[in-house]
Amino acid sequence: ISNAFDLTSSHKYLKYTDWGNEYGDVVHDTALGKHIIILNSTKACVDLLEQRSAIYSDRASLPMLHEPTLIGVPAMRYSKRWKRHRRLFTHLNSTAITQVFSERQVSAE
């Protein structure tokens, strides 16, 4: 759709609005080898970024990184297992729990 000169201007939003009027709420473009997704309506933004966020918030599949002994949770793909680990990690790092651990460590010394 575009060329590099269209996207270097300070008024890109005007070009994106024109594309939205011509092509629709969701427009894909490639400029200088980069993929650009333009969302031209609130409905498109809410639908893709809020309602379908679980689809798009996953990581790339790298089989060796999913081996628990190598990296573990940071490289896990978005799944029920990841949610459980994330919930546990968040719980164990909460202020209340860290205070309990701190008190126990002090009393053990």
Instruction: Report the amino acid identity of residue 51.
Output: Q
Residue 63 carries which DSSP code?
G
**What is the per-residue pLDDT for 70?**
47
Cα end-to-end distance, the chain, whole Å: 68
**What is the per-residue pLDDT for 60?**
63
Question: How far is residue 43 CA from its own chain's centroid?
Answer: 19
**What is the per-residue pLDDT for 9?**
67
DSSP E strand stretches across 1-109? 26-31, 34-39
**Residue with the larger pLDDT of the pair 18 and 96:** 18
Q: Express each pLDDT in 45-89 by its tens digit.
A: 888 888 887 777 666 666 655 555 545 667 677 888 888 888 888
Q: Count of CB atoms within 10 A of residue 70's CB?
A: 9
Q: Express each pLDDT in 18-28 by its tens digit.
A: 889 999 999 99
Residue 84 carries which DSSP code?
H
**Residue with the larger pLDDT of the pair 69 and 10:** 10
* pTM for this predicted structure: 0.46
